[in-house]
Amino acid sequence: MSRIVVHGLEKSYGDARVLERVNVTAEAGEFLSLVGASGCGKSTFLRILLGQEQQSSGVVIVGDRPIIPEPTPQRGIVFQRYSVFPHLTAVQNLLLVADFRSGGPFGRVFGARRRSARQEAEAMLERVGLAHARDLYPASLSGGMQQRLAIAQTLLGRPQILLLDEPFGALDPGIRVEMHELLTELWTEHGMTVVMVTHDIGEAFKLGTRVLVFDKVRHDPQFPSAYGATITYDLKLDRKTRASSHHLAKVAAMVGTTRPDTAMATTAS
């Protein structure tokens, strides 16, 4: 629901440059898949969008204002690990959203607002298929259930932008397909802008409306960390390109990790 504009973004840790000359404009409602080899800075890019880290130089605009340099409810996040609060049961995890929202001195809503928050939480649990697990702690939920809970929790916060950091990286292939369907449905319902980091190129093509490849274009053999990665390939997907093995193979070759045939299989599923 908000556009993201990134211009001339650069990120360095001391002497080591991770990202450089990153320019991208995402229209509201787009689904961006970020792929690239490990350690190429795509997660750093996501953390900058989240506000957990700040760019060394360049401009990031979310909506029509420069990004606020700390995490805010404008941008929701689902991590691969530590995605939900382990000290709260499933339903408490969802109620927490209303509690935090209220901002009161007790960090908790009461009375009629609590009842409506509870109804909303129950409905959301039902929506993501966790109604039977409402009173379980995350430790006794499976990986897939935890990620479903995490997505439900994030969506209850009604973010304009949804950030996903390898959300399905630790899940079994079967569960992963299930999660893809859920995420696609929720994205269609809510219509927010999504930025997803993934290792799985098939997943990137299947879910995204646009695939961005991060890679290093300049190399200094004497000082490998002198240059950072940038966006080397920006592919808008429509029904034709999504299924095209040609594009998939091209991106797979750039990233150099996944075999195109397995990626093709994911896209088809």
Partner 1 sequence: MLAKEMSARDEVSETGGEGTVRPSRPRPRVRLRMINAKVSRGSALFLGCLPFLFVAVAYLIASAQRLAVNLSDKLLPSPAQMWSAFLDLATVPDKRSGDLILWVDTYASLLRLFAGVGVATFAALSLGIAIGFIPRVRAFLLPLVTVVCVIPPLALLPILFIALGLGETAKITLIALGVAPVMVRDIANRVMELPPELVAKAQTLGGNSWTMVLRLVLPQVMPRLITCVRLALGPAWLFLIAAEAIASTEGLGYRIFLVRRYLSMDVILPYVAWITLLAVITDWLLVRLSQAVSPWAHPAEAR
CB 127 to partner 1: min, Å = 18
In a 13 Å sphere around the CA of 256, the CA atoms on its Cβ side amount to: 8
Closest CB to partner 1 among residues 135, 220: 135
CB 135 to partner 1: min, Å = 11
Closest CB to partner 1 among residues 96, 128: 96
Take residue 196 and report the two structure tokens written for it: 């997803």
CB 122 within 8 A of CB 77: no
- 149/146 Cα distance (integer angstroms): 5
CB 76 to partner 1: min, Å = 5
* Per-residue H/E/C for the chain: CCCEEEEEEEEEECCEEEEEEEEEEECCCCEEEEEECCCCCHHHHHHHHHCCCCCCEEEEEECCEECCCCCCCCEEEECCCCCCCCCCCHHHHHHHHHHHHHCCCCCCCCHHHHHHHHHHHHHHHHHCCCHHHCCCCHHHCCHHHHHHHHHHHHHHCCCCEEEEECCCCCCCHHHHHHHHHHHHHHHHHHCCEEEEECCCHHHHHHHCCEEEEEEECCCCCCCHHHCCEEEEEEEECCHHHHHCHHHHHHHHHHHCCCCHHHHHHHHHC
CB 2 to partner 1: min, Å = 14
Closest CB to partner 1 among residues 85, 233: 85
CB 67 to partner 1: min, Å = 13
CB 61 to partner 1: min, Å = 19
CB 71 to partner 1: min, Å = 4
Closest CB to partner 1 among residues 22, 96: 96
Closest CB to partner 1 among residues 71, 260: 71
Closest CB to partner 1 among residues 159, 208: 159
Closest CB to partner 1 among residues 100, 227: 100
Binding residues vs partner 1 (CB under 8 A) = 50-52, 70-73, 75-77, 79, 81-83, 85-88, 96-97, 99-101, 103-108, 137-140, 153-154, 157, 159
